[in-house]
Chain A
Amino acid sequence: MESKIGAGMTLTQEAAQRRVADIISAIPVVLTEYRCPLCARVFPGYSGLREHYEAEHAGAIAPIVVMLMLNGKGCEVLIEPHWTLKRTLQFRLGLTGTKHMCDKGVCGSCTVIMDGRPVLACQILTAECEGRDIQTIEGIAADPKWKPLIDAYCRWDAMQCGYCTTGFLVTAKALLDRNPNPTERECREALAGNICICGTYPRHSQAIIEAAAAMSGGGVDG
């Protein structure tokens, strides 16, 4: 049973999986327009934007084009040099599963996986990410391999208000990448950098351990 609900959201795992796949595929590989962040004028090519800056915004630092490798897909993105990866994911690429909470590298809500390691997108400049392999929650959720982890999180209510959940999930995925059968203690240590105001902490270890068992062929108790 599937239904579309407010703001394009869906209820089932399969529908959510399709939705994130759609979000990823909607990201253009090549930029076709270049918008001035200062005055909103749009140019068909990057050189036009550069010339516009020199003529109209002399002294201002012009945006740059960065090639990102996101969820296995290369894409050009126009950003200002000081933009963090978090900001770019939301405001340029529509990947809003990476959340903004503390903006100080404390809460873990903006966790992404970069070259196999969980990192905080609010603390990394997008310009530094060129050529790096980046996975966001959307890429993980779209990959059927990680369905057991998503399922386990949902079965165990490892979320309440849901805002920090994706940061935990990305960290959990990174843990399972390097340790397919973590102990409860290892789960807690891996997630020590993620903060949940709703106090869901005990649920995460339960979900990760259940997912690990399911992914290694073990069963799930009802």
Chain B
Amino acid sequence: MADIAGVNGQREQFRVVGQRNLPGKLSYTIASGVAQFGNDFVLPDMLHAKFLRSPYANARVVSVDTERARALPGVADIVTWLDEDIVRISSHGESFGPGTRPWIDNIADQEGAEVAVIVVAEDEDTCDRALEMLDVQWEVLPHIVDLHRGRQPDAYVIRPQVREAPTFGAPGMGGPPNPPKRGNVAYSNMISGDAEAGFDAASHIIEYDLYTPAFAAHLPNPSGSVAWWFDDPYHPEGGKSLHIEGAVRERMAIAMMYGLPPEKTVQEGLFMGGKYCDWGLRKSQEITPLLARRTGRPVRCVNTREDMFDFIMKQRYVHMKVGFNEEGLITAVEDDSIADGGVWGSSSFGNVGDLTQGPYNTLKCKNVTQRMEIVDSNRGKMYVSGQHCPFNWDSITMAIHLIAEKLGRDPIDIARLNLHGPNSQDDIDPVPSFEACVEAGKKLMGWQWHRAGAKRLPDGRLHGASFRYQMCPRHSFSSYNCKLELRNGVVHMPTQGPLFGVFAVECNAMVVAEELGLSYDDIQIDFDYRETFTPVGGGSDGTTASAWVMKECANILKLRILEAAIEYANDPPVPGFGHGFGPPPPPPGPFRGLAPDDLDIVEGRVVLKSDPSQGVPFKQATPKNLFATYSGRPPLALWVTGQMGKQLDTMNTAYCEVAVDEETGEVEILRFGVVADPGKVMRPISLESQIDQVMFFSQGCQLLEDFVYDEKTGVKLNNNMIDYKKPGMMDVPRVDREFLETRAGNAAYGSNGISHSLANTHLAIIAIYNAIGVWVDPPATPDKVLSALNKDMPF
């Protein structure tokens, strides 16, 4: 869908949008070390708080005696789950979790879970000592960290009180209602078409397993907050006002939690850290206002790194059965998945409901059955979104490569054959964006597909390559309320921010500058937590959608400026009168008797269209302060209106080349290649960075990262940055990127962003298969590669 509804949607000339090397508005603050994240705040007389954390994977606190801990010098307060203050509070942050549960109670459903007691003391060391002095009686319960064990009929049921199915995926779409939850297992079954008939029509049927390891969200900044109460002369009614730092963007949720009106809740900090679709508030971000109120002093509560190993992708096992004909056209798909339901309150996003989200919908084949078991576990928690769960897209990527191998045909041709046309699953026309991406991708990669194990590099290692397509999902359903102001000749863009890892505010400022004939530096960003405009909403998607709204707003302001310039020219102040004190008003521009259509704005000046040399700067054009507001969203993206993949516009393709050393089992990613069609490139460097990031994420989960548990105790063994390996500077490969601009998106200038659509769990794994002809489940560590090759480790 082209952007034909908005102003200047198909603008051809760009001065600002698309420019490189424009510093972020907060970049100097960050680079200089001035930026303060929640855990950085230190206040005079500040206390520290810590939670009792469970050493067991599943346990119940039967009783706690706090007497000895309370007597420890430096302990200021101890609260338990039975205290009235605790019983009264509830969370208002984003959550997909089932049912209601007290904010904190005596149940610990994973190792490290906050449970039962919070200690407040003069410093963190004293908190630790006090926690050690608690006399806690635990009832240790059986745990489930192995999903296969958890789904057995005789398995211990870890959450018998929660009988609800996960939020997404229930009830079944187009099929019978999902079965009721049984034991630890909830069901999400979806049926499209007639899979049996599809298999009957197939010439070949392949079956394969796909394993997706859990993947850490790994927020760089340990989550936490600092809160204090203060006498607010502007809002004295209702007692003290709250200042909380560290729960960035969640000021309203905190206000609601503590029954405060927004005006009595202050939050100035702008820096969230790397919150990539992980919007959930941690308890350390919620509790400090209560503790500060109880103690009368500022309180800081910050998680340790070990407390911060939450999921952004949960473990999943998939068994796939795919039927296809002699040409390679898929006729039927069966997807039997076992997915981790996580602990209580864990998001089910990306673990259920694949059929509603896209991957299977891009196929011509309509015969798809998905049966999913979601197994409650004590493994851990995923907060909200699951950025790295691209809806099991790689189950089809694997099918395409297996079909290609079976038929001896290029997987790109198999993909093209199976991808439906732009308008429906019955449309056989090519998708222009896909064709353009593939054409460019082949050139970028020097693409020459070979069968598994058929190519050696000059150094003797085996060469493998893989390819993957995806549609570009986007968040055009997000609405924004924005405003712009011309104040004393300067255009101000107020926003609450925040900064969370994408350059959204900057992209918006570029669009405003473009539309108002200004430079990027001319736009004054006013960061203010009280403002409503926050350009958040799905990576670059949110950026482009919010930019569409800002574009509309900028054009409203532009019209007001032109009208005001004419009004000032038509009715200038009488010299010596009418302007009160101060210097005389400037002479108006030569706009008397003209209409707004006669004028334009060029380089910060209101000018005559007929003769742009005649004009005046804003400050001279009008003495007025002018406002423009806009509330709304861009036209809905095809992702939304086209039934999540049953219609297609902008696509992206990714490629991977690996070298596998058969002697050591070492896999080297030689390079990633990405050809993406974001519709229109708005801010090139941040788009490139987003590509790099998502490819490095993908590299990590395929070669390095997984959660390791002790089966006997259910305890996590590698929730620290030594044992849980993230890719570093020397690990990451080259990423070659190319962007196409089909202008086919719905947001500003036909852009749509790419969000996390390039995240993948098997691109490198498939390339390894292409190299050695054997599947290796991620993470493909050398020992697993050698095991797949039936070799021992060389040491």
Contact = CB atoms under 8 A, between A and B. Distances in A.
A71 B39 CA distance: 23
Contacts of A29: none
A113 interface: no
A203 B735 CA distance: 12
Contact of A11 (B29, B73, B697): B29
Given A17-B32, A91-B42, A96-B36, A104 B720 contact: yes
Contact of B123 (A19, A37, A103, A164): A37
A189 B34 contact: no
From A37, A95, A98, residue with most partner B Cβ within 10 Å: A37
Contact of B31 (A153, A188, A189): A153
Contact of A90 (B26, B42, B221, B695): B42
B123 A6 contact: no
B92 interface: no
Contacts of B275: 161
Interface stretch (B322-330, B474-482, B499-507): B499-507
A166 B31 CA distance: 6
Contacts of B728: 192-195, 201
Interface string A88-101: 00110011111111
B637 to A, nearest CB: 24
Contacts of B304: 103
A7 B40 CA distance: 11
Contact of B274 (A17, A103, A198): A198
Nearest to A200: B689
Contacts of A136: 33
A120 to B, nearest CB: 12
B31 A161 contact: no
Q: Is chain B's binding surface mostly helix, strand, loop or mixed?
A: loop
A155 B26 contact: no
Given A96-B33, A153-B27, A161-B273, A38 B689 contact: no
A123 interface: no
B27 A19 contact: no
A9 B29 contact: yes
Interface stretch (B83-91, B523-531, B604-612): B523-531
Interface stretch (B169-177, B264-272, B356-364): B264-272
A74 to B, nearest CB: 20
B27 A157 contact: yes
Interface residues of A, number: 77
B735 A202 contact: yes
B525 A11 contact: yes
B221 to A, nearest CB: 5
B696 A157 contact: no
A191 B729 contact: yes
A19 B219 CA distance: 27
Nearest to A95: B33
Contact of A6 (B32, B270, B721): B270
A192 B122 CA distance: 37
Nearest to B498: A6
B137 to A, nearest CB: 29
Contacts of B73: 38-39, 56-57
B708 interface: no
Contacts of A102: 305, 720-722
A141 to B, nearest CB: 4
A104 B721 contact: yes
Interface residues of B, number: 76
B33 A201 contact: no
Interface string A105-145: 01101000000000000000000000000001110010000
Given A107-B721, A161-B500, A11 B25 contact: yes
A155 to B, nearest CB: 4
Interface string A64-105: 000000000000000010000000001100111111111110
Contact of A160 (B31, B490, B693): B693
B751 interface: no
Given A101-B222, A138-B32, A202-B735, A7 B503 contact: no
A3 interface: yes
B628 interface: no
A97 B500 CA distance: 17
Given A96-B42, A163-B220, A154 B693 contact: no
From B21, B30, B305, B692, residue with most partner A Cβ within 10 Å: B30
A219 interface: no
B154 interface: no
A191 B732 CA distance: 12
Contacts of A189: 730
B33 A98 contact: yes
A218 interface: no
A176 B521 CA distance: 30
B33 A157 contact: no
A6 B726 contact: no
B793 interface: no
Contact of B42 (A5, A57, A94, A107): A94
A211 B272 CA distance: 28
A183 interface: no
Given A101-B222, A201-B696, A161 B501 contact: yes
B37 A163 contact: yes
Given A38-B73, A102-B721, A154 B735 contact: no
Contacts of A103: 304-305
A197 B217 CA distance: 9
Contacts of B527: 5-6
A154 B23 contact: yes
Nearest to A159: B30
A198 B501 contact: yes
Interface string B251-284: 0000000000000000011111111000000000
Contact of A198 (B26, B42, B524, B693): B693
From A100, A166, A189, A197, residue with most partner B Cβ within 10 Å: A197
From A13, A16, A137, A199, residue with most partner B Cβ within 10 Å: A199
B45 interface: yes
Nearest to A142: B32
Given A101-B721, A189-B730, A137 B692 contact: no
Interface in B403-428: none
A19 B42 contact: no
B230 interface: no
Contacts of A166: 30-31, 33
B694 to A, nearest CB: 8
Nearest to B526: A3
B222 A16 contact: no
B27 A188 contact: no
- The 10 A-B residue pairs with the shortest CB-CB distance in the complex, in nearest-first order: A97-B33, A6-B268, A199-B693, A162-B30, A137-B33, A141-B32, A154-B23, A154-B27, A161-B274, A96-B40
11 contacts: A6-B268, A9-B35, A16-B31, A37-B74, A90-B40, A95-B33, A99-B37, A161-B271, A163-B271, A201-B692, A201-B729
Interface of A: 1, 3, 5-13, 15-17, 19-20, 23, 37-40, 56-57, 80, 90-91, 94-104, 106-107, 109, 136-138, 141, 150-151, 153-157, 159-166, 169, 188-189, 191-204, 222
Given A1-B490, A136-B33, A198-B501, 14 more contacts: A3-B524, A6-B497, A23-B34, A38-B74, A39-B74, A104-B305, A109-B220, A154-B24, A162-B499, A163-B274, A188-B730, A192-B728, A194-B729, A197-B726
